[in-house]
Structure 1
Amino acid sequence: MNIQRTQIGYLVGGGLKENFRVRLTVSPQEMQEGAFVVIQSGHWNYYGIVTDINLGATDPRFADEQTEVRFPAHIAKALHGQTLYANLEVLPNLMLEVGPDEGTPEYKDWQGKIDAGLKDAPRILPVKNIPPHHAVVSLANEGDIAEIFGDPNKESNFVIGYTREQNHPVCIDLDKFVQRSSGVFGATGTGKSFLTRLVLAGLMKHNQAAVLVLDMHNEYGFDDVASDTKKAVKGLKTLFKSGVRCVGLGAGSTIRGNQVDFNLEISTGDISTSDIETLSRELNLRETTPTILNALYTTFRDKWFTEFRSMNRDTVVFEDERGKKKEEPAEGSVAKWALTNGVNVMAAEALHDKLRRLFSQPYIAEGDAAANNSIAQIIQSLEAGKHVVLSFGEHESDLDYLLVSNLLTRKIRAAWEKKTNEFRTHGKAEPKPLIIVVEEAHKLLNREMAAQTTFATIVRELRKYYVTLLIVDQRPSQIYDEVMSQLGTRISGWLGDDLDIQAVLSGLSGRDSLRGMLARLQPKEEVLLLGWGVPMPLPVRSRRYDEAFWKEMSGGGKKSREENLKELGF
């Protein structure tokens, strides 16, 4: 198929178990690591990315000696052309049958067989064979990018960025994105929050899934000011108005002076003993804690938290038969309850001391005092397709984040499982897909916590119940590897730590070739698209979260190619 592309070289070696080697016919200075290239061979196109650029010579002496000093310029140039060269290492990813040249009898016959059902329609495949020597290698054009990553004009395709060489738009398929959990990664200060805003805005604009943002640092709901440029940044509430409900943690809370749609209060009856166990590290709980919590629940059932909080350390003095004064625990004391129920007194009192940090939290309301049943409001909003941003306000400690996010997610999980079972068993309405956005994910999904929290269960199993996670983190190496392996789409900015790079690339083919590429991304400018949710790995120049983007998200429609290039400064 004759399509205008920029030819850069020809294939000289390589194989399926190693990268292809391409001899450059252009200056190596015109190429970049991560360039998307097409290898054309007969009826097939092979797609890959450049992972390395290296210099070579037919004889090492020609590389060592400066022939331009010893010979006239025209002779030196001729020698260079014959003896010195540059090679590309290309990681092959995909192949596609494109058929004979259009307009030829062979093409008509080929297309006729497809139309008649005698031949399968061409589809993108993993690389299963290799092109022959000297196959032409070119930079991918806009049509190639659209063929692999999708047409930017298709409604479900969201332009996440542009190729670094020729600025062609690169899309992620949002319908596919929501099917599995995903992750946004990047070191601190690399624009991770802006990248997350981009993705969230795209999801909310597409509106095929409800989004719950656990906004630990109050960044996403309302307008803000960028810490580096000091420019105003629009919040998701400003962009999507009534489509987004902003919720503040605690009665009467506001977010940077902005009034929220409603407040979230946690009823004491909603706190389970398992919620406390997830706080073991934060509260430095002992191994005896599960036993004590189980005894509390056995005694008081759903009122265990209220009853335990109301206990005191009082003692009473009495005289025995001999007239001696003795001291014993008073009714209503921790010790009295412990003795009555066969629990170690010192362990029970130690747990009571450690839970004081929770007993005093203002967002925990007594019994049903959370009269507006704000957890139910959040669930109802999400079921109706609204997006919810839960801002933690002044309650930004890890303890608050761990307790509230895990409790809320546990309730949501139960609601979505129930709706899914009703849909499959009784033919009721299909649940709205839900994405839960988790910041500082390593605090909830590290090896120690993963088995205890609801989040790991969601990553492993809940996609069949229409619930997935979008985890946002700067230290992916601290996230449990079983969780990382389940992530579909991974979008990563610059990472400097080898362990973090290794974690982001875990489970991916060709990860050794991609390692250096991830470490050399331009901070705040470039991201690497990876994983099941994209057809192949590709570094791109990310979009800007600016006025042009806000206009498009607010209903301005898809931008033209010229507007896209102007956005990038071309």
Structure 2
Amino acid sequence: MSGEQLGIVVGGSLTKTLEVRLAAGQAAGLGEYLMVPLEGEAKLLGMVTDVLLRAAEPGATSWPPAASGETGGLLLEVLMDTAVYAALEVNPYLEIDEGQEEPSRARRLPRHFAPAFRADQRAIETAFGTRDRPSLSIGAPLGMDDIEVCVDFDRLFERSVGVFGKSGTGKTVLAFQLLDAMVAHSRTQSTHADKTVALIFDMHNDYGKRMKFEAEGSRERRSLKQNHPSDVAVYSLEKNAVDVESRIVIGTRDIDPEDLAVLQVTAEFTAAAIEAAHDCKDRFGRDWLDEILKQDPSPHVLSRTWPGEDPPEEPSWAKVVNRMGIHGGSFQNLQRGLRKLRRREFVESGDAQFDGVIRHIIQTLRGGKSVVIQFGAHGNDLVSYMLVANMLSRRIWEEYQRAVERASDGGGDAPNRLVIVIEEAHKFMDRTMREQSIFGQIARELRKYNVTLFVIDQRPSQIDPEVLSQIGTKVCLQLDSDADIEALVGGMTGRAGLRAIIASLESKQQALAFGHALPMPVVVRPPTLDPNFRPGGSLRDRLNAVAPPEAAGRVTIFGRRSPVS
């Protein structure tokens, strides 16, 4: 077995952890991978989840030698690595056998005193199933900078993905690199139907313009559009935006009561006000929003409120809502909220060609291009972000749903795979919003209509547990809240060790990845985003590390090294 021997197995349990006694002079840290031979040709692959100090006899620690002096130093040297030693707790995850196509879940234990080795690149590629498949690099395991961990491209995006971490930990940088690799991979596909595209709701202008970056020296990096000018289209909400495909303008006729429901918390709409909006649309038609924002009820409103009757001599909104059975306070709440929405520059009265923009975006997506919705000055306005993201996503998802159903009936081709990228995901998918927001439905539908989510969030505990459980692959950076950590690892095998690892992550460039696309959890150091970042570039190139011998004769494809044919 190749690799550096670290120690020997001295005990453990298959359902808990193995204990590996470290050899003299050896060391390992949390998140590193170890291999231990099993009977036959198979090897057990596990991850270090704890580092221990052990004593063979209690006397050695009850009466420790003096820290100084010739006698104390000699005694200390005698005791070290004999009477006292360091050990590792290793969570056993996979059995790897060169004769099998895929690794299997660990179901056997090694014998006592079996040697434990540090895993090498070949073992990692075999375990993660990426040796002969297109894959994306997610980083190097902690303490193993010469190793590159990649995930299978198709498995990563066939279900929803989540990147979680508190503010300033590098969520956007990590998400950017995954999306960059996605676009680079899709460009190589021969047909539009085989391309995976992203619909990115860019809250802070990181993907359409130059990416803001907190680091020494330059404060900007190249955006997704700049890296892939022919494969990414940018749409903007700003009136004076330049170098964009089109401006997004929402007409008051385009806003449905369902679009307001997701704003109950951020725009302070009450549930009764949303019900009033439904009643008004049913009664007044497509112009319902403009009608109820008028100072006094119009003749159209009066005729629909008192059909076949004469309206009151002095009509007022109070009399209209009383006739409709709507509470006056709820109606006033609705009016206040709608007036605030109407003041935004991207909302106009009547029709604003919103349907035409949606059709253009859908054509762009189905044509194999990713789309960035750039919010510009509206990025810090959560109401604007939630309104636009929910409205666009709901209508695009409905069109994808119809296309898939037509294809299943033989009426055309199924659409390509779409990944919708949203930030501040907990605002859309908390326990109160899961039924009102389209994103909860998309997550629950899995990949039924070729649409999945890519969520970026700092408060996973506020996402509805049912929705969070449908996020297939999770990448977790540093989190401080126990509730947030438990929300992510609850129900996982070995969750106690995973909780300890998340709690020990540093504030930048350390992440725990686990879930659908990964056969076992992995703690990685994502690459930095330097000014010379190249689209699809290899992680090892960005780390300036030397490739291991087995990587000789390989080329870089989509962030991994692949054999030359």
TM-score, structure 1 length as denominator? 0.86
Q: 2:447 aligns to what SS in structure 1?
A: helix
| 1:244 equivalent among 232, 235, 252 | 232
Deviations 1:179-236 (A, max 9, x none): 1111001111111111111111111111231101111122221113423435131111
| 2:291 equivalent among 298, 307, 331 | 307
Alpha carbons 2:20, 2:87 under 8 Å: kept = yes
**Map 1:457-496 → 2, pairs under 5 A:** 457-496=441-480
- 2:427 matches 1:448: no
Moved more, 525-534 or 179-188: 525-534
Classify 1:313/1:354 alpha carbon distance in 2 versus 1 (closer, same or farther; 3 Å): farther
- 2:19 matches 1:41: no
**Following the alignment from structure 1 to structure 2, what is the Cα–Cα distance between the partners of residues 230 and 476?**
33
Classify 1:182/1:559 alpha carbon distance in 2 versus 1 (closer, same or farther; 3 Å): closer
Classify 1:491/1:344 alpha carbon distance in 2 versus 1 (closer, same or farther; 3 Å): closer
Alpha carbons 2:254, 2:354 under 8 Å: kept = no
Aligned to 2:526: 542
**Following the alignment from structure 2 to structure 1, what is the Cα–Cα distance between the partners of residues 163 and 313?**
54
Aligned to 1:226: 213
Classify 1:146/1:329 alpha carbon distance in 2 versus 1 (closer, same or farther; 3 Å): farther
Q: 2:376 aligns to what SS in structure 1?
A: coil
Deviations 1:230-276 (A, max 9, x none): 513111110000211111114x242xxx5322111112222111111
Instruction: Report how many residues are paired.
Output: 523
**Map 1:419-568 → 2, pairs under 5 A:** 419-426=403-410, 428-550=412-534, 552-553=535-536, 559=538, 563-566=541-544
Report the AA paired with residue 59 of structure 1: E
| 1:142 equivalent among 118, 121, 124 | 121
**Map 1:42-441 → 2, pairs under 5 A:** 42-43=39-40, 44-63=42-61, 64-66=63-65, 69=69, 71=71, 76-98=76-98, 121-151=100-130, 154=132, 156-167=134-145, 168-207=147-186, 208-231=195-218, 232-250=220-238, 252-254=239-241, 258-312=242-296, 330=314, 333-370=316-353, 373-395=356-378, 396-426=380-410, 428-441=412-425
Report the AA paired with residue 54 of structure 2: G
Q: 2:233 aligns to what SS in structure 1?
A: strand
Alpha carbons 2:342, 2:348 under 8 Å: kept = no
**Following the alignment from structure 2 to structure 1, what is the Cα–Cα distance between the partners of residues 8 and 531?**
43
Deviations 1:320-355 (A, max 9, x none): xxxxxxx96755x53353244343445323422332
Deviations 1:40-69 (A, max 9, x none): 123221111001111111212212411675
**Following the alignment from structure 2 to structure 1, what is the Cα–Cα distance between the partners of residues 446 and 518?**
21
Report the AA paired with residue 516 of structure 2: W
Deviations 1:139-188 (A, max 9, x none): 00111111112447x56211121122232111021211111111001111
| 2:28 equivalent among 17, 28, 31 | 31
**Following the alignment from structure 2 to structure 1, what is the Cα–Cα distance between the partners of residues 381 and 36?**
53
Between 1 and 2, higher relative CO (CA 8 Å, sep ≥ 6) is seen in 2
Moved more, 338-347 or 79-88: 338-347
Following TM superposition, by how much is the alpha carbon of 1:564 offset from its aligned partner in structure 2, in angstroms? Answer: 4.9
Following TM superposition, by how much is the alpha carbon of 1:426 offset from its aligned partner in structure 2, in angstroms? Answer: 1.2
Classify 1:382/1:150 alpha carbon distance in 2 versus 1 (closer, same or farther; 3 Å): same
**Following the alignment from structure 1 to structure 2, what is the Cα–Cα distance between the partners of residues 127 and 370?**
57
**Following the alignment from structure 2 to structure 1, what is the Cα–Cα distance between the partners of residues 323 and 409?**
46
Deviations 1:482-511 (A, max 9, x none): 111111111111112211111221332111
Q: 1:543 aligns to what SS in structure 2?
A: coil
Report the AA paired with residue 90 of structure 2: V
Report the AA paired with residue 64 of structure 2: E
List gaps (5 residues or longer) in structure 2.
Answer: 187-194, 300-310, 549-565
**Following the alignment from structure 2 to structure 1, what is the Cα–Cα distance between the partners of residues 539 and 297?**
71
Report the AA paired with residue 95 of structure 1: E
Following TM superposition, by how much is the alpha carbon of 1:388 offset from its aligned partner in structure 2, in angstroms? Answer: 0.8
Larger-gyration structure (1/2): 1
Alpha carbons 2:237, 2:376 under 8 Å: kept = yes
What's the Cα RMSD here?
2.6
Moved more, 195-204 or 260-269: 260-269
Q: 1:18 aligns to what SS in structure 2?
A: coil
Following TM superposition, by how much is the alpha carbon of 1:427 offset from its aligned partner in structure 2, in angstroms? Answer: 5.1
Deviations 1:363-384 (A, max 9, x none): 1233323378212221221121
Alpha carbons 2:10, 2:20 under 8 Å: kept = yes
Classify 1:329/1:503 alpha carbon distance in 2 versus 1 (closer, same or farther; 3 Å): farther
Following TM superposition, by how much is the alpha carbon of 1:309 offset from its aligned partner in structure 2, in angstroms? Answer: 2.7
Classify 1:171/1:352 alpha carbon distance in 2 versus 1 (closer, same or farther; 3 Å): same
Report the AA paired with residue 398 of structure 2: A
Classify 1:245/1:567 alpha carbon distance in 2 versus 1 (closer, same or farther; 3 Å): farther
Following TM superposition, by how much is the alpha carbon of 1:464 offset from its aligned partner in structure 2, in angstroms? Answer: 0.9
Following TM superposition, by how much is the alpha carbon of 1:525 offset from its aligned partner in structure 2, in angstroms? Answer: 1.7
Report the AA paired with residue 20 of structure 2: V
Moved more, 265-274 or 433-442: 265-274
**Following the alignment from structure 1 to structure 2, what is the Cα–Cα distance between the partners of residues 568 and 159?**
16
**Following the alignment from structure 1 to structure 2, what is the Cα–Cα distance between the partners of residues 312 and 359?**
17
Classify 1:559/1:224 alpha carbon distance in 2 versus 1 (closer, same or farther; 3 Å): closer
**Following the alignment from structure 1 to structure 2, what is the Cα–Cα distance between the partners of residues 151 and 548?**
26
Report the AA paired with residue 511 of structure 2: V
Alpha carbons 1:330, 1:336 under 8 Å: kept = no
**Following the alignment from structure 2 to structure 1, what is the Cα–Cα distance between the partners of residues 137 and 329?**
60
**Following the alignment from structure 2 to structure 1, what is the Cα–Cα distance between the partners of residues 397 and 447?**
11
Q: 1:426 aligns to what SS in structure 2?
A: coil
Alpha carbons 1:484, 1:506 under 8 Å: kept = no
Q: 1:38 aligns to what SS in structure 2?
A: strand
TM-score, structure 2 length as denominator? 0.86
Classify 1:301/1:367 alpha carbon distance in 2 versus 1 (closer, same or farther; 3 Å): same
Q: 1:355 aligns to what SS in structure 2?
A: helix
